A and B are shown apart, each in its own frame.
Chain A
Amino acid sequence: MNIMQLLISFLFALPIFATAVYLLFIKNNQMIVVKLTQLIFSLLLLTLSVMIFFKHNNNIIIHVASWHAPFGISLVFDHLTTLMLVIFSLVIVCINIFSFQDPDLQIQSNTFYCGFWLLILGMIGALTTYDVFNLYVWSEVMLVSAFILLSNSQLHNTFKVYHYAMFNIVGTLLMLLAIAFIYGITGSLNYMKIAEFLRHHQSSLMTPALLLLLLGLGVKGGLFPFYFWLPNAYPNTSSSSAMLLASLITKVIMLVLLRLAWLWSPLHTSFIEYLFIFIASCTMFFGVMGAANHFRIRDILSFHIVSQLGYIVLAIFIPTSLAIIAAVYFLIHNVFVKTNLLMVAGIIEKQCDSTNLNKIGQLLKSSPLLASIFFIAAMSLAGLPPLSGFWGKLLILKAALTSHVYIGACIAIIVSLFTLYSMIKIWRFGFCQNQQTTKITTPKFTLTATQLIATLPLLIIPLALGLYPDIILPTLKSITVDLNRGLGS
């Protein structure tokens, strides 16, 4: 067993071990022990993923229990997986630090951390697996941990959890049905074997099966006709849970979609491409319209999650290498910036007991530091020039225009404008509103050290990505090489 295999087995063992620790050994009232172990575990996760990122130089394929491809499950660590593992574990460390001061988690903290680590386990599994049925199992792991995270809140959100559960269970059942069909047609569950079958055989049954799989993934990923559960569930739970769900689940589904779309050639036929460019445009547009319609900061941000997913899907279904770079870059930018904005919303909620823009105001005077963090993150989300959002949107627009997807590009520009409008709305009402018109007056407050440590990395990294995008460009280029090959070596 070489060093890579050891690292990878530790990567899987760590979340399982952490879940067991919080289930069995730690009582609710031991907050100091919880914080200490959480910090150690999440820093270990970050170290492991950084080590894997720097140690691997070509793609690593692990056959679980030495059963080779047609029989066993293979786990693949290529450039995309290792890069995203580093990005996600960075965000996880920040969310973890932020969760220490979340007032919603003081009572049931060990249940929250069980869900936290189960979600990370599901994320690692779904990113690395190369087996469709295994993908289903990992997405169930993520779903169950999402249930734990959503219901672990002091808000009365049972009905929202019910909505979430209903939509996602039906989504996974559709996915399972599609997997049964794909297995029946191709006789294999391995991504690469299926891709090989699809390259050599023409099967008219394959398109409906793939559409069903995409439907399942679309329901779970919050795409156009089925996105209603997302802005319904995410604002009505503790802010740490919302951050974790928003930054991991839908993004992982998008990455799976990216990988499948480049591996399975029928997903790049013109019919499915047109369908998904239409779905992406509608997701962008209706997401941002929902955001324009709401007046609570967390509602607005949740609708923006939907709208940004539309950009990623648009880039995934444009068949050029530039589009891959655009999709991955935009996804990375979005994970950081959106988590940062949700953190700002969480801090506002803690200080003012509300994120309703009609009630709060004057945050610019109460805390100039919080206002400046919000301003940079919000302008980055809207895509103003020197920041990371600008490059992400520019790349997507360029990819769309060079592939003659003019309608998608037009809608992306319009949606950008409305994103800016929403962000200005939050700025205008939340931060600059007069003393006379607000219902809640907030005294001056300073950010605590915990909040600063949690938010600043999420501010600095996207700034660095925006001002000097060359740092991740080599990795993005090797991702395109990997995906274009279908997967080599």
Chain B
Amino acid sequence: MIELTCGILVSIGMYLILENNFIRKVFGIVVLSTAINIVILACGRLNHATPAFISSSSVNGFANPLPQALILTAIVIGFGLLAFLCAVIKALMADHSIFKQKS
């Protein structure tokens, strides 16, 4: 089920990126990066549910902490890139000449 969700989200994201519209492209990147975060979680070998603290009794069976770290990094980087992209599009909007050519 989760695989299907990821596939649908990635294709929605790609479709929106390929549209000829600034705002849709931004939404496409948001959807695509979210979908990729879900893919990391789904591929992440999260087989156990115990928190990743080593207790004195056993060190087996705790959850893999790596996917969370990867997703956290990916979210932060993705958000930074998104902020830059919005700033560029705002600068483009201020520069009317491009929109005059289009319409």
Interface residues, chain A, CB within 8 Å of chain B?
133, 137, 140, 143-144, 147, 151, 156, 158-159, 161-162, 165-166, 169-170, 172-173, 176-177, 180-181, 183-185, 187, 189
Contact bitstring B86-103, A, C-beta under 8 A = 1, else 0 = 001101100100100000
Residue tally, chain B, CB below 8 Å to A? 29
B70-83 vs A, CB cutoff 8 Å, 1 = contact: the mask equals 10011001101100
Does B63 sit at the interface, judged by CB under 8 A? no
Q: A165-B88, A189-B66 are in contact. List 19 more A-B contacts (CB 8 A).
A: A137-B73, A144-B80, A156-B95, A161-B88, A165-B85, A166-B17, A166-B25, A170-B29, A173-B29, A173-B33, A173-B36, A176-B74, A177-B10, A180-B39, A180-B40, A180-B70, A184-B42, A184-B43, A184-B45
Q: How far, in whole Å, are A187 and B47 apart by their CA atoms in the complex?
A: 12
Partner of B98, one of A147, A159, A165, A169: A159
B71 CB, nearest partner CB in chain A, Å: 9
Q: Contact: B88 with A169, CB < 8 Å?
A: no
Chain B contact residues, majority secondary structure: helix
A-B contact pairs, 20 of them (CB 8 A): A137-B77, A140-B77, A140-B81, A158-B88, A158-B91, A165-B84, A165-B85, A169-B29, A170-B29, A172-B81, A173-B32, A173-B33, A173-B78, A177-B39, A180-B39, A180-B44, A180-B70, A183-B66, A185-B43, A189-B66
Report A-chain residues with C-beta under 8 Å of the C-beta of B98. Answer: 159
Q: Look across to chain A and name the residue whose beta carbon is closest to the beta carbon of B45.
A: A187
Within 8 A of A (CB), among B21-41: 25, 29, 32-33, 36, 39-40
Closest to B32 in A: A173
Q: Decide if B73 touches A133 in the complex (CB within 8 Å).
A: yes
Q: Complex formed: what's the CA distance from A315 to B25 in Å? A: 36
Instruction: Tell me how far the C-beta of A141 lies from the nearest C-beta in chain B, rounded to whole angstroms.
Output: 9
Q: B43 and A183: CB pair below 8 A?
A: yes
Which A residue sits closest to B81, measured CB to CB?
A169
Q: Which residues of B contact A177 (CB under 8 A)?
A: 10, 36, 39
Contacting residues, chain B, for A162 (C-beta < 8 A): 85, 88-89, 92
